[in-house]
Structures are given as C-alpha cells and as structure tokens.
Structure 1
Amino acid sequence: MTEAYGQRLGGVLRVESGPAIVTRALRTADIAVTEIRCDNPLREKRGPIPREDAFIVSWHLRDSRNREYWEDGRRVSVCDLRAGESCLHDLKRDPTAFPDKAFHALIFYLPRAALDAIADDANAPRIRDLSYKPGAGVNDITISGLGSLLLPALSHPDQANPLFLDHVLLAVGAHVAQTYGGMRPMSRLVRGGLAPWQERRAREVLLANIKRGVPLKEVARECGLSAGYFSHAFRRTLGVAPHKWLIEQRVALSKEKLRDGGLSLSDVATECGFSDQSHLTRVFRQAVGVSPGAWRRILQR
C-alpha cells in the first residue's frame, strides 16, 4: 500500500492529520489529494516517501523561504516557494524536503498507472516522464484553481459530491499529463460514441467470450453504460452493432483455425463460437464468398 497520500503520508511528513480524497474512477489506479498542514514544524528533514513509480504535485498555500530540497540523497536546490505555487516530484527519485517553518499544502498523488490510463482514454501515446525543475515552484493557475475547489471538500468530506470530486481529480491528472508530460490526443472522439477505454474494454469482453457469447448488458455494464446507450455508442464508434462485430471476429478467427489441417470443420466451428458446422458454413460463405472447406483448399494450394 502506498504511503504517498492520506494518513500514511501524514505519518511520513510527521503531521498529525492528513485528510484525503481518493478517486477510483480510472478503475486501474487511484488519484488522490491530501491536505498537509503543520504550524509547529520540527527542525529536521522529513520523509523520504518510499519510492514508487508515481508523481506527486504539491500546491503550496503558504510561503516557504530557503526551502532545501533533495533527490536521490543529494541536495539539488535551495529556493523560495510562494503561496499559490506548485512543485512536481518524481517518487522514483526519493524526493525529500527540509521545511523548518510552518507549511500548508495540498499533495496530489498521480501514479504511473493513472497517467497511462489517462493517455489511453485520450487515445494518446503513453507518457515517459514529466518535465520539471527539481524543487522549483511554478505558477500553475490550473492547479491553483482545481486545488481551491477541493479545499472545502477536504474540510467537510461528508458534504462533498463524489462525482464532482472524481471530475476535479481527473482534471488534475489530465492537466499534468498534457502540460508536463506533453500528452496530445491522436484523434478526436466520435460524437456519441464510446470513450477509448470503453472501446478497449468492450473489445476485451467480447473477445474473451468469443466461444460462448456474452449478454449485451454485461458488456455495457463493464463500460458503465446502459445496454441501449452502449449498443448505439458501439455502432457509432466501430460502424457495426456489437453482435455483428463479434461475428466478424469469429469469421476472422475461423480463417486462422482453418490453417490447422488437424482440426475438422466441426472443431473449427466449436472453437470459434458457432453452434455447429452448418452455422459456420452459412456465416463464413456469406462473409467471405466461399465455404470454409473451399477456403481451406485454397490455403493448401
């Protein structure tokens, strides 16, 4: 379990409380924000936060003069941070600070898996690294604005709307990926279609059940959609209805299976999700223009 947010982070930084908000909207990774405040700091180096493949973004609500900052056990900067500025930190580099004055900050936790999921959802190449100057503050008005929206929720979590919090934390992740990771979408989303992650998940579920089939409502549920909306969005994105797409995949798979001379046509039908050999023959002939047996003879020649 990570120590980069919540009470565990508070323990590492030696503060008594660490109220946090966590979103699991990405399914594969958490994004979190923790409020860290210390009015009577100890004059000693804090941390380090245990290494992991993740980044943290700190948004500072108080000035911090002559702040000493280390990475990999080496002091890399001594600088002033002003209230409203943000800093980026790579947890693989063992970031450590020595705040000897009172401090107050929001700490955003962004694991690599979350950035990968954000890039995947944007249909963009995955991010290799973030561009930042170690220990230096940047005046990022987007981080400041999003952080300001989260402060009331951290003070009164029982009154916060979970969907709103998910939206804000995902916005932080997307902003960091674009601004510091250079993420650029490869193509625009189809209006009324599936998001990239929904398209990937739908393909995965349908292909995993290619032999026995799967109810449409189960695939839709995996994508967080109703069956009716999913069917419409799938057609908008891939150009065919889900059942038609699955038949196309079964035909494509049967072409590969027909290369194996040790499989009978009945075996091929079973392996590819057809009810029997005659079903395979009918669908295959309709899609390809020749029967499976003729296709196999063509391959042999």
Structure 2
Amino acid sequence: MTGAYGQRLGEALRVENAPAIVTRASRTADMAVTEIRCDNPLPQMNGPIRQEDAFFVALYLRDSPNRESWEDGRRVSVCDHRIGESSLHDLKRAPAVLIHKPYHFLAFYLPRAALDAIADDANAPPIRDLSYKPGAGVNDVTISRLGSLLLPALSHPDQVNPLFLDHVLLAVGVHVAQTYGGMRLMSRLARGGLAPWQQRRATEFLRANIKGSVALKEVARECGISVGYFSHAFRRTLGVAPHQWLIEQRVALSKEKLRDDGLSLSDVATECGFSDQSHLTRAFRQTVGVSPGAWRRALQR
C-alpha cells in the first residue's frame, strides 16, 4: 500500500477523513493502518476497493449489528460485529459490505509480500492464504490491544516515534501470519539476541539520531539483519523494544538539559527529540514518575 491507500479506502466507504499510518516494517512492502469512522452513513454498498494481492484486518471500535458482507459479488454472511472484535478480508476477492448503520473501525493493510517477508525471516514457507470465515467477527485480543496502541498515533501522528509504529505494525503482521497463516517461528529467533557488535552499532545509531526520526528498517540495516529478527533480538538483548529504549535515552538526556536553568521546558523538548513540551512531559512522567518541571524544582531545592 502507498500513502494514498487510506484515502482510497475512505473514498470506497464514503468517508472524507481517513487518517492513515504507513510504514515499511517489512523489508519488501508497506504495511499500514487506517481509521474509518462514519456517524451518519447513507444506506448503500461500499464503493469498489481496488483488488490486489493483500489482506486487510478490521478492528471494530463500535458495535456493528446485522452487518452484511460480500465477496466476489455474492453475500457470504450476515452477523453482528461487537466492539473489540476483528474480521479478515482478502482484497483479491473484492470484499464489500452493505452500509446502513454508523461504524468506526481500524483497517490494517497487510500485503502478501509483507507477510511472506515475515515468514522468510522466520525460516517458514510463504503464506499461501489466511484461514478465516468470510465476514465473521473473531475475538482476537492481540489485534484489539495492538490497535488500541495506535489510536493515539492516528490522532497525533507528529508526536509518535516511527520506531514505535514500525514495532506495532510488525507485531500485527507477525500475529496474523502465525494465527491465521499457520506460520511457526524458527528456533534461532526464539533464542537469539544481538551480537556484541550489533548491539553497539544499534545503540550508537539510535543515539546519533536521538533528535530526529529513525525507522526500524534503518537500524536493522546497520546491523545487517532483517527487521523482524532485529526487533526480537534487540528486545531479548536489552530488555525493551527499540522505541522504548530510545524514549529512555531521550528522557535521560532531558535530565541533563533540565540542569541548565537557561533552557525552558520547550527548549529541552526540542533538544531531546520530543515534538513539543507536552510530549516531553508525558514521556518524562511515564519514565520518572513526576513531571520535568517538578523534577527540576526538586533538583533546585
């Protein structure tokens, strides 16, 4: 999917504003998530969604009773979708729904090329197809939790760490490949961590980009390994995901900057790679337990 996918999906569902996040967490294809909401739909079938070799997973953020689903021009189900449930759809099969009630959901876009790259990282066969019942809702707790992590990012994309987005969307892809595509992780992925030189290179690269944005694929490339393996190996070696490690480094740097009374909190945020003062305050409070202003006042006392 390209950055225009969110717009295309919005147009198919007659929604003007469809915020989307696109990332190349996979080394060969973009994955994305789009938020779709309509409170006053007109009773009609959705417009055509371009057929392609890809899947999308819908996570319902609002109850959707008596939802009629269609594939290849024929009705395949009529069922209730409850908030927190998911449904899977194959874009090769021209999925469509009869729209007649308000709806709100996240649509995860997963090209087959991305799923195959994930399988290749796991030393597993390509994903031939996903196992799902057309139109049916499933109570997938993992999809629900991962989706809830992305909702704030869709509202405030300028305040989100690209590493975090890569990490979450890659986790969605891995989960779908395992749960619905039958993929099994290779044994070396389960036990392996970063080699000492890879750990050193990864942390050096992240620190060098502490003020800017850096994608997961860029750090993985510096270490000479795939994105999927890097994400797992980094967590296994350092105990946290790459995006969380980078936030901790930014907070540590902000403590040094806060000792300089000549810097405002807004200046500190800029110097440490946060989008603004409120972004600094949230991250600092989550990591340290108090606001940066309170920490500075305690330091002065």
TM-score (norm 1): 0.63
* 2: CA distance, partners of 1:91 / 1:63: 23
Deviation (angstroms), 1:121: 1.0
Matched residue type, 2:138 = V
Partner of 1:57: 57
1:3: Cα distance to partner? 8.9
Residue 45 of structure 2 aligns to a residue whose secondary structure is: coil
Say if 1:91 and 1:138 are closer, same or farther in 2 by CA, change over 3 A. same
Deviation at 1:192, TM superposition (A): 4.1
**8 Å contact 1:4–1:109 — kept in the other structure?**
no
Distance verdict in 2 for CA 1:8–1:183, change over 3 Å: same
For residues 142 and 4 of structure 2, the distance between their equivalents in structure 1, rounded to whole angstroms, comes to 22
For residue 223 of structure 1, report the CA deviation from its aligned partner.
5.6
Residue 91 of structure 1: aligned partner: 91
Q: Deviations over 1:79-131 (max 9, x none)?
A: 11111110000001110001211100000000000001100111111111000
Aligned to 1:262: none
Structure 2 counterparts to residues 191-210 of structure 1, below 5 A:
191-192=192-193
Question: CA separation in 2, counterparts of 1:38 and 1:141?
Answer: 24
Aligned partner of residue 225 in structure 1, secondary structure? helix
Q: Work out the number of aligned pairs and report it.
A: 203
Q: Deviations over 1:194-247 (max 9, x none)?
A: 8xxx9xxxxxxxxxxxxxxxxxxxxxx8962269xxxxx9xxxxxxxxxxxxxx
Aligned to 2:176: 176
Aligned partners of 1:57 and 1:88 also within 8 Å: yes
The aligned residue for residue 16 of structure 1 is 16
Tell me, in whole angstroms, the C-alpha distance in 2 between the residues paired with 1:192 and 1:66: 48
Who is 1:120 aligned against? 120
Identity over the aligned pairs, expressed in percent?
Answer: 75
Q: Distance in 1 between matches of 2:160 and 2:151?
A: 11
CA–CA distance in structure 2, aligned partners of residues 226 and 79 of structure 1: 47
**Structure 2: any 5+ residue segments left out of the alignment?**
199-217, 225-229, 231-301
d(CA) in 2 for partners of 1:187, 1:32: 28
Choose between structure 1 and 2 for higher RCO, CA contacts under 8 A separated by at least 6 residues.
2
- Whether the aligned pair in 2 keeps the contact of 1:4 and 1:49 (CA below 8 Å) is no
- 2:67 corresponds in structure 1 to 67
Instruction: Quote how far apart the aligned CAs of 1:4 are.
Output: 8.1
8 A Cα contact 1:123 1:187, kept in partner? no
The structure with the largest alpha-carbon Rg is 1
Judged with a 3 Å threshold, the aligned counterparts in structure 2 of structure 1 residues 3 and 149 are, in CA distance, closer, same or farther, namely closer
Pick closer, same or farther for the CA change 1:193–1:160 going to 2, 3 Å: closer
- Determine the structure 1 residue equivalent to 2:252: none
2:48 paired with 1:78: no
Give the deviation of 1:191 after TM superposition.
2.8
Match of 1:132 in 2: 132
Q: Which runs of 4+ in 1 moved over 2 A?
A: 1-5, 189-194
CA distance in 2, matches of 1:224, 1:186: 21
Asked if the contact 2:2/2:30 (under 8 Å) is kept, the reply is no
CA contact (8 A) 1:3 1:49 kept: no
- How far apart, CA to CA, are the structure 1 residues paired with 2:145 and 2:67? 24
How big is the shift at 1:38? 0.3
**Cα shift readout 1:7-49 (whole Å, capped 9, x = no counterpart):** 1211111101110111112231000000000011011100221
Matched, 1:165 2:165: yes
Q: Which runs of 5+ in 1 are unaligned?
A: 199-220, 228-232, 234-301
In the TM superposition, residue 50 of structure 1 has moved relative to its aligned partner by 1.2
Check 1:136–1:192 CA distance in 2 against 1; reply closer, same or farther (3 A cut): closer
Quick check: 2:88–2:135 contact (8 Å CA) kept in 1? Answer: yes
Matching of residues 1-301 of structure 1 within 5 Å: 5-189=5-189, 191-192=192-193, 224-225=221-222
Supply the distance in 2 between the matched residues of 1:91 and 1:175 (Cα, whole angstroms): 19
Give the distance between the partners of 1:222 and 1:48, measured in 2 at CA. 38
CA distance in 2, matches of 1:107, 1:122: 25
- The Cα of 1:185 is off from its aligned counterpart by 2.3
Instruction: Return the letter of the residue paired with 1:27.
Output: R
Cα distance in 1 between the residues matched to 2:15 and 2:79 = 23
- Aligned with 1:137: secondary structure? coil
User: What RMSD over aligned residues (CA atoms) do the two structures have, in Å?
Assistant: 2.3
Counterpart Cα distance in 1 of 2:67 and 2:223 = 52
